[in-house]
Amino acid sequence: MNVVVTGASRGIGFAIAEIFAQNGHHLFLTSQNEMKLYRAVETLQTKYNGVEIFAKAFDLSVKENALAFGDWCLQKAIPDVLVNNAGTYQPGNVIDEADENLEKQIATNLYSAYNLTRKIVPAMLQQKSGHIFNICSIASLKAYPGGGSYSISKFALYGFSQNLRHELMPHNIKVTAVLPGAVMTDSWGNFDNSENRIMEASDIAKIIYAATQLSPAACVEDVILKPQAGDL
């Protein structure tokens, strides 16, 4: 399979890229930070040297960049799997958060997925198959203190996923919304997870890979994953 992963240089995105590499699939990766992206590619190619990995840095919050990345992928292959993982988290409350917090998070967490998907979907429609994953959040379902514009943007991404699922259902293209709770990534800083209080990025990757292995008759529409001990 040809697998496109955004936000692939670290965290959940890197874990997703790795599990597909482990299983011999071709990767098309992007992230905003070029140095971190190429470091990630080097790590993957060292471990899985038989896998083709293409990578190019783009800031997908900018529409023209999202479209350019889509074109770059399509020039090389028709994607079978698209994982819209690029995102940003800026905590705050709606009533007093920093100016433009909403605009920045909507641009990265929603518009990047919207614009890239619209660029790639016509090729999937032509081949009458494909699987799109949108990495939403438990914040897509429930407000929480300090969630502010982040939660708003993730609610919107989940709404986008639901509409896309209905539109593409007749065309044999699957859409899965992934809604994780707390996952051990860089955003948790020096959090001590020695007691497995929160999930690992590989947990999310394993669920996504498993969803791609089902028969054409089955689609995992929503995946909600939470720490075994519950939300923080």
Residue 146 has pLDDT above 90, yes or no: no
| Average pLDDT taken over every residue of the chain | 95
Residue 110 CA to residue 187 CA, distance in Å, equals 19
Could you tell me what percent of the chain has a pLDDT over 90? 85
pLDDT tens profile 91-115: 899 999 999 999 999 999 999 999 9
Position 37 scores a pLDDT of 98
Domain ranges of the chain: 2-225
Position 149 scores a pLDDT of 96
Q: For the residues 28-37, what does the mean pLDDT come to?
A: 97
CATH of the domain spanning 2-225? 3.40.50.720
Q: For the residues 192-219, what does the mean pLDDT come to?
A: 92
* Total Cβ atoms within 10 A of residue 122: 11
Residue 81 has pLDDT above 90, yes or no: yes
Residue 194 has pLDDT above 80, yes or no: no
Position 94 scores a pLDDT of 94
216 to 130, 177, 213, 223: CA distances (angstroms): 10, 17, 9, 18
